[in-house]
């Protein structure tokens, strides 16, 4: 038996509940960013000049109080912190869940009946794998649009032109559609779970309303991100 060296309070601040709160807060920071990112993406429909000058404007936020691009770097540090906190708590909780369920999760019963439980959603049992897909996508996405290391369809200084070039290629669009749908499902359960974890679920009625809110926000965010690439890929917008 392990010897207790931590005070009860210190132990509680490392508990599954505290880890889950860390996951919820870091997740909500990323969702807030996603909403702003989505809003920015939709400026694509204002045309090449205005879209590119909007992106250039982002570098001048709070200039000259911050250096050129300073605000974006602060944002990147905050987001990197959120990703690390989110992934750390996910791995720690996943390992605990594995041990608690005899290393088999929901598949620990021999019965082949009711494998998917009584009421749990597709979004909830794909959360962990969905998260890994999203993480891989983020790496790809940063190499693609942020760093410009990858430039399918041709290199260009204009982000507007880079979007048109990329999403004119069917497999690039497909990769983005898959990733955005994964984000949508992740948010569908994740948002509800974050609010409930932070204590917002106070009644059966509130549980229903929080779930409706999570579904609506997930659809809005996924939809908002899907519109520009699909407009380019299907309707040839911008070319």
Partner 1 sequence: MKINLRVWRQKNPEIDGKMVDYQLDDVSEDMSFLEMLDVLNESLSVSGEEPVAFDHDCREGICGSCGVVINGIAHGPEVTTTCQLHMRSFADGDTIDVEPWRSGSFPVVKDLVVDRSSFDRIIQAGGYVSAPTGTAPDAHATPVPKKDADHAFDAATCIGCGACVAACPNGSAMLFTAAKITHLGLLPQGQPERDSRVIGMVDQHDAEGFGGCTQIGECTAACPKGIPLHTISRLNKDLLGALARGEG
Residue with tokens 């400026």: 43
Nearer to partner 1 by Cβ, of 64 and 112: the residue is: 112
DSSP 41: H
Shortest Å distance, C-beta 232 to partner 1: 37
Shortest Å distance, C-beta 88 to partner 1: 13
Sequence-separated (6 or more) residues with CB below 8 Å from residue 175: 137, 140
Residue 3, by phi and psi: left (phi above 0), alpha (psi -120 to 50) or beta?
beta
Shortest Å distance, C-beta 117 to partner 1: 5
Nearer to partner 1 by Cβ, of 64 and 199: the residue is: 199
Nearer to partner 1 by Cβ, of 159 and 188: the residue is: 188
- Report the C-alpha gap between 206 and 209 in whole angstroms: 5
Shortest Å distance, C-beta 208 to partner 1: 11
Structure tokens at 149: 């290391």
Does the N-terminal peptide bond of residue 64 adopt cis geometry, omega within 30 degrees of 0?
yes
Nearer to partner 1 by Cβ, of 112 and 149: the residue is: 112
Shortest Å distance, C-beta 204 to partner 1: 6
Given the rule CB under 8 A, which residues bind partner 1?
2, 8-9, 11-13, 15-21, 93, 96-97, 99-102, 105-106, 108-115, 117-120, 124-125, 127, 189, 192-193, 196-204, 206-207
Nearer to partner 1 by Cβ, of 16 and 239: the residue is: 16
Select from 160, 151, 152 the least CA-distant residue to 53.
160
Select from 231, 130, 139 the least CA-distant residue to 181.
130
């Amino acid at each position: 038996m392990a010897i207790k060296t931590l005070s009860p309070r210190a132990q509680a601040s490392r508990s599954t509940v505290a880890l889950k709160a860390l996951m919820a807060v870091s997740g909500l920071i990323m969702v807030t960013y996603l909403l702003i990112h989505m809003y920015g993406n939709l400026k694509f429909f204002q045309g090449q000049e205005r879209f590119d000058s909007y992106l250039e404007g982002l570098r001048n936020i709070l200039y000259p109080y911050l250096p050129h691009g300073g605000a974006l770097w602060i944002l990147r540090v905050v987001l990197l912190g959120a990703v690390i906190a989110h992934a750390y708590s996910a791995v720690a909780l996943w390992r605990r869940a594995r041990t608690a369920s005899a290393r088999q999760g929901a598949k620990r019963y021999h019965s082949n009946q009711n494998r998917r439980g009584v009421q749990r959603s597709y979004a909830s049992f794909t959360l962990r794998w969905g998260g890994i897909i999203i993480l891989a996508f983020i790496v790809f996405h940063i190499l693609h649009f942020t760093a410009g290391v990858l430039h399918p369809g041709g290199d260009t200084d204009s982000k507007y032109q880079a979007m048109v070039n990329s999403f004119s290629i069917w497999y690039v669009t497909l990769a983005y559609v898959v990733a955005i749908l994964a984000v949508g499902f992740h948010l569908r359960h994740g948002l509800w779970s974050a609010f409930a974890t932070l204590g917002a679920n106070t009644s059966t009625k509130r549980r229903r309303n929080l779930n409706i809110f999570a579904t609506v926000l997930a659809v809005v965010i996924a939809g908002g991100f899907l519109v520009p690439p699909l407009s380019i890929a299907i309707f040839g917008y911008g070319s």
